[in-house]
Amino acid sequence: MAIDPALVPFSAPLSYLALGVHAKDDWWCEHPAGLFLRELRTSRDEALVAHLVPLGPDGAPLAFERYASGPESLRAECAAGAWEFVFADPATILARADRPGLGLRLDFLAEGRRFQMLFAVPPPGSAAPDGTLLLANAHKNRVRFLLAARAGRLVPDDSRWDGRDALSMAANLVAGGPESGDTRPLELAIREYTGEWDGAVPAADFAAARAAQAADFAAFLARVPAAPPELAETRAAAAHLLWSCSVAKAGYLGRDALLMSKNWMDRLWSWDHCFNAVALAPVHPDLAWDSFLAPFDLQAEDGSLPDSISEGAVVRGFVKPPIHGWALRRLMAATELSEAQLSEAYGRIARWTRWWLDCRDRDRDGLCEYDHGNDSGWDNGTAFLRLPPVETPDLAAFLAIQCDVLADLARRLGRPAAEAAEWARIADAQIAAMDRELFDAAGRPLVRAAYTHETFSPDTLMLRIPVLLGDRLPARLRAPLLADLESDRFLTEWGYATESPASPLYRNDGYWRGPIWAPSTLLLCDGIRACGRPDLARRVAERFCRMCAKSGFAENFDALTGEGLRDRAYTWTAAVFLVLAAELAGPSA
């Protein structure tokens, strides 16, 4: 399986390290084009650690010209040969040249940073450095790296040391010299430390490490539900993205979890994680559960969830929509959850739901509000053209589903009957208020301003999400919503545009004002099927999966061409593909 490292960084399960190829026109990367070591514990602006540059036999810098990547290794070719990289473990990358004389330079990105330094250390049991070991204090990345020459010698470049900081720092791995008699191809180990070096030198065998990674991915892929034969290759690529994008619990991440990307969207947002958990449930139920609960570990006293989390940061100020009841229902259908798990989920989701009801219905009209587009997940969607807070039908539908799930859980867990009845009452009230206030007499969905209760009806797909209610959707609304979703108002050759292409506000690369997104696709497919139209749901799923086969797993896609946009290695896109492809492979509903 071939993976383009310019789109999908080369990484391994549970690792915070990645190797990525960056082009000159990458808007977020101001450094020269080439291969970079990335460290995912810091913000995306700080994630690049070092530029990896091949050195010719004469020591002159060359350029990598071609790359080939798979789950087991990354191969980078230049005019003088090739370097191959493998993961020995989540914290260790091994690099090996394919011929003698080919060197490697690690140019650490230290300009303007304080407390960076690179220095030689003695091998264990030795009294003095011998050119085999260097320690790099990558202060901007909050880690240290041990560089260990397994064949060849390391030459540090500290010519810009100013007495306190390395204003730039680099290390060259070069041959040991004619007198050494060592003509082996050069080999290097790069090991990450969040604390002090423990004195050990990585000893893993290169070929064995490569074989172990290949075997681990093969075992993961074998558990992924089947896809139609024509999507088999895309299924493997999607599985690889999920397999390689997990990180180990550390810092603010109290559990192993899946990041949204190991490109620049390298954190976990509090609705993105739901789609990844749903896809992982039949493949890796433990990681699915931990990914699902990770934001809840940082639930605030008032019950709200953070906007996003990573190893080094918790971002609040915004939230994300309450789709967690819907996600939990899908998790329960896909894997066996214990009573302890269900009890924990019940308590967390109940607090989260109460936060919405108590803190985001400020005018006490029975409908909760989004304070900003970011709270809905549809950041710049046209439902937020007028100054929020606004009440929207998707939010009422999500809360109704969440309350229905809580009512079911309360009964299953043997909680007081009045508790289950109260959740069921709230669900009914949400649906009734949505029907009464957020749809007009013809069944057209509306956005309503809080307090003034003025309404308008933008041409956004977001307002059609209430089909997710299925048979709980009032009958008068079902037909007009399904008619909208079956027509070419939103449905293109590739799937559902988030803003109607006929709208004057439609933009090809307009984020939530036009492009196709994975989460809206899965939610709508679920809802359309629940409303009795499995044929339409299947048609939409086929188009989305065909688009992924063509353009990969981008953050979003041009709705008219199907081309990938923004971050090109987004896990929720791969996750939704796997869910829909598995449904396409099953019996037609």
CA distance linking residue 169 with residue 345, whole number of Å? 48
Which of 120-124, 243-247, 318-322, 478-482 has the lowest average pLDDT?
120-124
Query: Is pLDDT of 239 > 70?
Result: yes
The pTM score is: 0.96
Beta bridge partners of 268: 309
Contact 462, 477 (CB under 8 A): no
pLDDT value, residue 114: 63
Q: What is the band of 45 on the pLDDT scale with cuts at 50, 70, 90?
A: low
* φ, ψ at 477 (rounded to 5°): -95, -20
In a domain, 1, yes or no: no
Statement to judge: residues 343 and 401 lie in one domain: yes
**The pair of three-digit structure tokens given for residue 156, joined into one six-digit string:** 């540090």
Statement to judge: residues 289 and 368 lie in one domain: yes
Q: What is the band of 177 on the pLDDT scale with cuts at 50, 70, 90?
A: low
Q: What is the mean pLDDT of residues 182-195?
A: 92
Tens-place pLDDT, residues 507-566: 999 999 999 999 999 999 999 999 999 999 999 999 999 999 999 999 999 999 999 999
* φ, ψ at 112 (rounded to 5°): 75, 0
Q: Which residue has the higher pLDDT, 180 or 501?
A: 501
Tens-place pLDDT, residues 293-324: 999 999 999 999 999 999 999 999 999 999 99
Statement to judge: residues 232 and 190 lie in one domain: no
pLDDT value, residue 181: 65
Q: Alpha carbon of 220 to those of 171, 273, 278, 295, 457: distances in Å?
A: 36, 19, 16, 25, 45
In a domain, 12, yes or no: no
Statement to judge: residues 168 and 238 lie in one domain: no
Label residue 36 exposed, middle or buried (CB < 10 Å: 0-12, 13-18, 19+).
buried
Q: What is the mean pLDDT of residues 77-83?
A: 97
Statement to judge: residues 203 and 246 lie in one domain: no
Beta bridge partners of 83: 76, 97
pLDDT value, residue 47: 83
**Rg, C-alpha atoms of the chain:** 26
Q: Into how many domains does the chain fold?
A: 2
Task: Identify the domain boundary among 153, 186, 212.
Answer: 212
Q: What is the band of 270 on the pLDDT scale with cuts at 50, 70, 90?
A: very high
pLDDT value, residue 164: 75
Residue with tokens 């004469």: 58
Determine the structural domain holding residue 288 and report its residue range. Answer: 224-584
Statement to judge: residues 240 and 206 lie in one domain: no
Contact 376, 321 (CB under 8 A): yes
Q: What is the mean pLDDT of residues 323-348?
A: 97
Statement to judge: residues 362 and 506 lie in one domain: yes
Query: Is pLDDT of 130 > 80?
Result: yes
Q: What is the band of 142 on the pLDDT scale with cuts at 50, 70, 90?
A: confident
In a domain, 560, yes or no: yes
Statement to judge: residues 240 and 125 lie in one domain: no
Query: Is pLDDT of 460 > 60?
Result: yes
CATH of residue 87's domain is 2.70.98
Query: Is pLDDT of 125 > 90?
Result: no
Task: Identify the domain boundary among 162, 177, 212.
Answer: 212
Statement to judge: residues 199 and 242 lie in one domain: no
Statement to judge: residues 24 and 157 lie in one domain: yes
In a domain, 371, yes or no: yes
Would the CA dihedral through 549, 552, 556, 561 be positive or negative?
negative
pLDDT > 90: percent of the chain: 86
Statement to judge: residues 207 and 245 lie in one domain: no
Task: Identify the domain boundary among 154, 186, 212.
Answer: 212
In a domain, 496, yes or no: yes
Statement to judge: residues 207 and 274 lie in one domain: no
In a domain, 219, yes or no: no
Q: How many residues does the chain have?
A: 589
Query: Is pLDDT of 111 > 70?
Result: no
Query: Is pLDDT of 110 > 80?
Result: no
pLDDT value, residue 589: 40
**C-alpha dihedral (204, 207, 211, 212), degrees to nearest 10:** 0
Q: How far is CA 538 from the centre of its chain?
A: 25
Q: How open is the CA angle 324-408-526, to the nearest 5 degrees? A: 50
